[in-house]
Each structure stands twice: as C-alpha cells, then as structure tokens.
Amino acid sequence: MSSERDDFSLSGPLHLTVIDWTNIDHQRSVAASLVQGVYTLERDRQLKREGSQALAPPWWEFFHFRLLRQLVDDVDFCTFGAIYEYCPSASPRNDSTDRSPRYVVALRGTITKADSFSRDFDLDIQIIRNGLHQTSRFEIAMQAVRNTVASVGESNVWLAGHSLGAAMGMLAGKTMAKSGIYLESFLFNPPFLSPPIERIKAKKVKHGIRIAGSVITAGLALALNANQQRNRTADPFLSVAAWVPFLYVNPNDHLCSEYVGYFEHRKKMEEIGVGAIEKVATQHSLGGLVMSALGKDAPGEPIHLIPSANLTVNLTPVENFKQAHGIHQWWRDDQQLKSQFYKYQ
C-alpha cells in the first residue's frame, strides 16, 4: 500500500503533461506533488529504497524540478523537507513560465512509522502548545526559507506544506510577512486547534455557538488588556494581513475544517453589524486567553489564526478521515472544489 501511494506512475497527476503556470489548479497540483516528494524521500530512506528502487524522484522530475537540498531533522535525522529548483530548460515542453517559481521549499506532515513518528508526534504536541517556533526542526526550516529568499528574492520562492508541514509553513510565512516579505504559499490541511463546530449540521445552532464564542473571546481579551490600543504598524495581526496564502481544507477533516467557519463567521459578523467584536475575537485563541487569565503564558501566539487567505474547500464525498486529510486529493482532477478570497481589513 505504501509503495502504491509513493509510486508516481500509479498515484501521481499524470494528466498534467503540460503545466500552465498561470492556472491555479496546476499550481496547486504541482505544489502538492512536491510535498508528496518529501514524504516519499523519507519513506525511501526508511525502507532503504536506493538508486533505481527509489520512488521519490518522479514526484519532482515530472514537473522539471531538481532536488537541491533535503532538510534533515537534527534529532532523529529524518527528512522532513526539501528545496527544489525549477529547471524548465531540461525539457522541450512548451510550458508557460510567467508565474513559475524558481525554488520551492516543501515540508511534509506526520509519518506514522516507527522511525519518524515519535519526533513527528512531539512536534504535533508543540502545535497544540503554541511552541512549534521553539523547536529545532522549525528553526532549520525557517533558516532554509530565509536563505532561499535572500538568494533569489521573495517573488521566486514558493512555500508548500501539508498537515504538520502546513503548520510549519504557516508559521514561516507569518514570520516572513512580519518583515514585509510575502511568499506565495500553498498549505494543505493546515491544523486549526478548535472544537469541531463545523461538524454541526444545524446552521442556526452552529452560528449561535460561534457568536457566543466570539463574544466571550473578545470580552476576555479586552478584560486582559490583550487588545490594548497599539500603533497599527506594531499590531502583529495587522502586520501579516497583506500575506494571502492558499489554504486547502476538507470539511471532513476535523484537524483543518474549522478554517471554513473561521472565515465565514468573520464575514457574517460584519454583515450583521458586529464586525468590531469579531475583529478582536479573530486574533485570539480562547484557550490561550484562559491560560493568561490563570497566569500561565503560552510559549507563542496561536499558529492557526490568520488575517487573510485564499481558502479552497474540497466538497467531494470521502469514505474516511484518511482520505479527507490526505495530500493525494489535492492534485486529482475530479474533485469538487470551492474557493473564496478573504482579506482582512
């Protein structure tokens, strides 16, 4: 099963024989495939698939990329990321290069195999604790992003990640945005830490719960002076509002489905005239505020809270959570996708 999933000839987007870099569906498919390349690199390592037995190379070579560097964790020495370089001259295909990246930094998610699961799981816990920025794996990824941008410029770099890798990509993108660098980013199934309100079918009940949550969150934030009047340029939320990553979520994936309600609710609160409440609430995690109220400061700001996004929701029916959370759905050409642009004002 693992080999079939890793084998590009069996699972990859073979329909993309010519890439139109102005086509967002093509961009999404390539970005997802490059992330899959990282997963397969690590599984090649674990299963000792080398040389002609390695399954990873087609995941980038099919799109005329070369593997420039593997990102290796300093704790368990697993491959968790890769830097790819686009080499269009390597093929006679007449691909449009108007919006092609020169380099892509891709980050994988959790692998549930003994060789890497322990470290991956520890990092998943750090997402919950808002402590991912303090981990050595993130520092390695962040340095790779900074060095690549410094070498070729922000307009030539894409950032891509899935699950845990999407959380790292989110944090890296927000970090760069705070310094005025806005990377083209493709984040697949990014974790959103919240009760699964989006799974509630009754719309009125769901909306009521969200309004109550916003009022409580905003009220607690104000009570703790978390929303004190600051210089607008010093507002950490406003400072990343110009960064608009592409977020890809599946409503049947409880780890990321709350992004749907997060952005829709903000829009509805503005429509009913209480947008000011939501402007405060959307910047804060209720759990983090409760910790602050108890005198326990979280290590860092919540990764999942973000001002702006191009949100794409996969409405295609799935059989189970594994399909809803998987990376493979994002390069298939038979999916029912709905996209919405959200810009924080």
Mean pLDDT of 30-38: 98
**Angle of helix 286-293 versus helix 203-223 axis, rounded to 10:** 30
pLDDT at 117: 84
β-pairing verdict for 65-72 and 79-86: antiparallel
Q: Which residue has the higher pLDDT, 324 or 212?
A: 324
- Which residue is it, tokens 């399909």? 323
Predicted pLDDT at 226: 46
pLDDT in tens, 157-174: 999 999 999 999 999 999
Q: Nearest-CA neighbor of 46 among 124, 136, 108?
A: 108
In which residue are the tokens 């990329």 written? 65
Provide the H-helix boundaries in the chain: 2-6, 8-11, 24-46, 58-61, 114-128, 136-152, 164-177, 203-223, 258-271, 275-281, 286-293, 321-325
Nearest residue to 239 via CA among 128, 115, 344: 344
Helix (H, G, I), strand (E, B) or coil at 187: strand
Phi and psi torsions of 8, nearest 5° = -60, -35
Cβ atoms of residues 84 and 60 within 8 Å: yes
Residue 321 main-chain phi, psi, to 5 deg: -60, -35
Would the pLDDT of 232 be above 50?
Answer: no
d(CA 320, CA 302): 28
> Per-residue pLDDT for 216 more than 90?
no
Question: Cα separation of 35 and 33, whole Å?
Answer: 5
Q: pLDDT by residue (tens digit) across 263-302? A: 887 776 676 766 565 566 566 554 554 444 445 555 567 8
Domain count, the chain: 1
CA atoms of 18 and 118, how far apart (whole Å): 40
Q: Which residues are paired to 310 by β-bridges?
A: 246, 341
Between CA 34 and CA 138 the distance in angstroms is: 19
Is pLDDT above 80 for 212? no
From CA 127, how far away is CA 110, in angstroms rounded?
Answer: 12
Per residue in 323-342, pLDDT tens?
Answer: 999 999 999 999 999 999 99
Radius of gyration of the chain (CA): 20
With residue 65 as reference, give the H or E element that holds it: strand 65-72
Mean pLDDT, the chain, integer: 84
Query: How many CB atoms lie under 10 A from the CB of residue 128?
Result: 12
What's the CATH number where 92 sits?
3.40.50
What is the biggest distance separating any 2 CA atoms in the chain, rounded to whole angstroms?
63
On the question of pLDDT at 95 being above 60, the answer is no
For residue 101, what are the domain limits?
2-342
Is the per-residue pLDDT at 5 higher than 70? yes
Residue 161 and residue 188 in contact, taking contact as beta carbons nearer than 8 Å: yes
Contact of 316 with 336, CB cutoff 8 Å: yes
d(CA 323, CA 299): 33
Q: Which residue has the higher pLDDT, 91 or 133?
A: 133
Q: From CA 178, how far away is CA 298, in angstroms rounded?
A: 20
Give the pLDDT confidence score for residue 233 in this predicted structure: 42
SS3 232: helix
Q: Which residue has the higher pLDDT, 2 or 165?
A: 165
* 325 burial type by CB count under 10 A (0-12 exposed, 13-18 middle, 19+ buried): buried
Confidence of residue 227 (pLDDT cuts 50, 70, 90): very low
